[in-house]
Every structure is written in structure tokens, then in C-alpha cells.
């Protein structure tokens, strides 16, 4: 285009350039042409540069306007094309990032992913709670980290008491040495319940308290260092040892089956007086006598007894007005006996061939 750029020439140029731009297929090509369009050596650049050489002012202005309009319309075409190309580049990027999940969905429809289920110990705890709830008990829980006072002292086991030897205790490195520990049994939850019933004036109590307990034991066929107990506590007016024996017998037949019974044998626990061990008909031989029950026909399940007045006094309950009984036994042991599990370690090994059976 010469300095004499005519309107006709300019519009012809705009038209070819529009076609050229609209034929471009990528943002890279657009970038290349952009430099060319803006360069001083481009036809419009040259036309603009030569404006100064036009003598006639009117003519110069007119040509300047025409060149400016031509430039604006080329840039308009350019921007429109850029928007189109950017939009399709975005669409392409999304398309490239898309994950095809149909295969996963189809595979899971053919062989549905298996749902897990509650572990045998949890199932056993639920079943035990159900039996006691049906008998009118409430379910309560207490902390697993206890102070010496809750785990021992309030239960009538002062420091130095020989009964402490029954519990190989795991102490926590908090506060004074040997004052904070992992509870060795669920009995301290009795103390929490009694304290809050006294504070809120809500005696009587009829409650069971399941939960995890800890002892420094080496795992073997009948012991785990982390195990589960369920504690029972009834405090009311005129509660007798006969009530205790009745509750234990009712529970035993309800949970283990109508041909399994219970018996109580004298024992010692610091927090109950009198105390008893309770035994149930051997679930392996049904009382005939076998290796598991050492030919006695009976298997020991837990401890029980009448709440010792010293425990009532520790929490401020008047032993002349209230009486009660307590019991405690192992949840894992119940699962072991009801399902004939030879080695308790199977409960923590997480071998699916074992856990899937229940």
C-alpha cells in the first residue's frame, strides 16, 4: 500500500486479513500473526508511517482516519478469533483431564465391593448390653485414663494393699509418679456413677458399664493386654445377695442359652463384701467335663458381690440407707466361650478368614 492508501485498498486489505485470521486454528498461530500485524513493516504500519508525508492536511486527516478504522477492524477480528480459540483450548484441556470411571463402576457392579461389619468383640458388647437393657439396666461409660484414686483407692484398695498385685498396671507419665494410669478394670466407672448420682441426687442406680481395660500381660490363649470388661452396679433400697444371684443367672441363660447356668463361689475382692466368683456351665462340654474346664464342667467368668460399705463411704452414700451389688466380667472371654475360640489372640490378629466368620 502506498502513501496514497485508498479506501478501496484498505478495505480489500482488511477483508484478506480477516479471512487469514479466521482460518487460524491455534493460539500459537494467532500469536505469530499478531506480531506481524503490529509491526511497522506491515501494510497498515507502513501506511500509518507515511501519513506525515501527505501534504494536504485534509487528505492527511482523512487517510489517517481510514487507516485507524482499518486497524481497529483488523484488531476486532483478531480479538474475536482469540476468544474462540481460547474457549476451545479450555474445553480441550478439560476433556484431556477427564477421568473415565466407567470401568470402575462396571467392575463394582459385577462384583460389588464388600461392606465390612462390626468386629466380634463389638458385636458381643452390643449383645451383652441388649440383655442387660432388657432387664432394666442403663448403659454408662467411663474414662480409660484414670487416677489412682478411682482405679484403686475409692475401691477400697489403698496404696500397699496386696490386692494391687492382681493388677499389673500401666502407668502414664503425667503428674506425680504412679498416680495416673490406664484403668485395669471397669470398676472405677462405678465410682464415677456413684459420685454423680450423689451430686445430682439421682440414686438409685441400675447400670452396666462396658469398656476397654489395660494390663501389662503378655498375650496368650486366654489373656490380652488390652481387653474389654462389662461392669454392673445396682444400688437401691433393700438389695440382697439373692438379687445378685438372680441377675447373674438370668443373664447367663439369656446370653449363652437356656442350658447354660451359673453358680457363685466364695472369693475375695476389696470392693465387695461378701464377694464371689461366678462360674457358668462349660460351653464346650455343656457340663460333662472336658479339657477346657479341667473336667469340672464349670468355667469362671467374673467376679461379683455386695458393695462394700467402705466404697459407699468413699463417695458419700449412707450404707445404712442404701445397699447394692456389683459384678464385672470379660467381654472378650464371653465371645471366646460362646463361639468356642481356642486362642484369644485371634481377636486382635485381624485375619479376615477369622473375622469374616462372625
- Contact flag: residue 156 with ligand DAH (CB under 6 A): no
289 to 348, contacts with ligand DAH by CB under 6 A?
Answer: 302-305, 326-328
3-state secondary structure (DSSP) of residue 75: helix
Cell of 231: 461392669
- Residue with smaller CB distance to ligand DAH, 37 or 157: 157
DSSP string, 148-215: HHHHTGGGT--TT-GGGGG----B-SSSSTTSEEE-SSSTHHHHHHHHHHHHHT---EEEEEEEEEE-
- Contact flag: residue 142 with ligand DAH (CB under 6 A): no
CB 210 within 8 A of CB 139: yes
Residue showing cell 462389662: 230
- Residue with smaller CB distance to ligand DAH, 142 or 303: 303
Q: Cα–Cα distance between 24 and 83 in angstroms, integer?
A: 12
For ligand DAH, the binding residue among 187, 262, 281, 283 (CB under 6 A) is 187
Give the nearest distance from C-beta 307 to ligand DAH in angstroms: 8
- Contact flag: residue 152 with ligand DAH (CB under 6 A): no
- Contact flag: residue 48 with ligand DAH (CB under 6 A): no
For ligand DAH, the binding residue among 24, 150, 228, 231 (CB under 6 A) is 231
For ligand DAH, the binding residue among 147, 262, 272, 323 (CB under 6 A) is 272
110 to 129, contacts with ligand DAH by CB under 6 A?
Answer: none
First to last CA, the chain: 91
Q: Cα–Cα distance between 33 and 27 in angstroms, integer?
A: 10
For ligand DAH, the binding residue among 214, 255, 269, 298 (CB under 6 A) is 269
Q: Which residues lie near ligand DAH (CB under 6 A)?
A: 185, 187, 231, 269, 272, 302-305, 326-328
Amino acid at each position: 500500500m502506498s502513501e496514497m492508501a485508498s479506501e478501496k485498498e484498505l478495505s480489500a486489505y482488511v477483508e484478506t486479513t480477516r479471512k487469514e485470521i479466521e482460518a487460524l486454528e491455534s493460539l500459537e498461530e494467532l500469536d505469530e500473526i499478531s506480531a506481524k500485524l503490529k509491526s511497522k513493516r506491515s501494510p497498515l504500519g507502513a501506511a500509518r508511517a507515511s501519513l506525515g508525508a501527505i501534504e494536504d492536511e485534509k487528505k492527511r486527516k482523512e487517510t489517517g482516519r481510514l487507516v485507524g478504522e482499518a486497524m481497529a477492524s483488523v484488531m476486532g477480528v483478531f480479538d474475536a478469533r482469540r476468544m474462540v480459540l481460547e474457549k476451545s483450548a479450555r474445553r480441550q484441556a478439560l476433556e484431556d483431564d477427564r477421568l473415565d470411571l466407567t470401568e470402575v463402576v462396571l467392575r463394582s457392579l459385577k462384583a460389588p465391593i464388600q461392606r465390612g461389619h462390626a468386629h466380634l468383640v463389638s458385636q458381643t458388647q452390643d449383645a451383652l448390653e441388649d440383655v442387660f437393657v432388657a432387664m432394666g439396666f442403663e448403659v454408662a461409660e467411663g474414662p480409660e485414663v484414670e487416677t489412682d484414686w478411682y482405679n484403686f483407692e475409692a475401691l477400697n484398695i489403698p496404696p500397699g494393699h496386696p490386692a494391687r498385685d492382681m493388677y499389673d498396671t500401666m502407668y502414664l507419665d503425667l503428674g506425680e509418679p504412679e498416680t495416673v494410669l490406664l484403668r485395669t478394670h471397669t470398676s472405677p466407672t462405678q465410682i464415677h456413677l456413684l459420685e454423680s448420682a450423689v451430686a445430682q441426687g439421682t440414686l438409685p442406680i441400675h447400670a452396666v458399664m462396658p469398656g476397654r481395660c489395660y494390663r501389662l500381660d503378655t498375650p496368650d490363649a486366654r489373656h490380652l493386654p488390652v481387653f474389654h470388661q462389662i461392669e454392673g452396679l445396682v444400688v437401691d433400697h433393700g438389695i440382697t445377695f439373692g438379687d445378685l444371684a438372680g441377675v447373674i443367672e438370668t443373664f447367663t441363660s439369656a446370653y449363652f442359652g437356656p442350658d447354660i447356668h451359673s453358680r457363685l463361689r466364695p472369693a475375695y475382692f476389696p470392693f465387695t463384701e461378701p464377694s464371689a466368683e461366678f462360674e457358668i456351665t462349660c460351653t464346650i462340654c455343656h457340663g460333662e467335663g472336658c479339657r477346657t474346664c479341667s473336667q469340672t464342667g464349670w468355667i469362671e467368668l467374673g467376679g461379683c458381690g455386695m458393695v462394700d460399705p467402705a466404697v459407699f463411704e468413699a463417695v458419700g452414700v449412707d450404707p445404712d440407707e442404701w445397699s447394692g451389688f456389683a459384678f464385672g466380667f470379660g467381654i472378650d472371654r464371653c465371645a471366646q466361650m460362646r463361639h468356642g475360640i481356642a486362642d484369644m489372640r485371634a481377636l486382635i490378629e485381624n485375619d479376615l478368614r477369622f473375622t469374616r466368620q462372625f
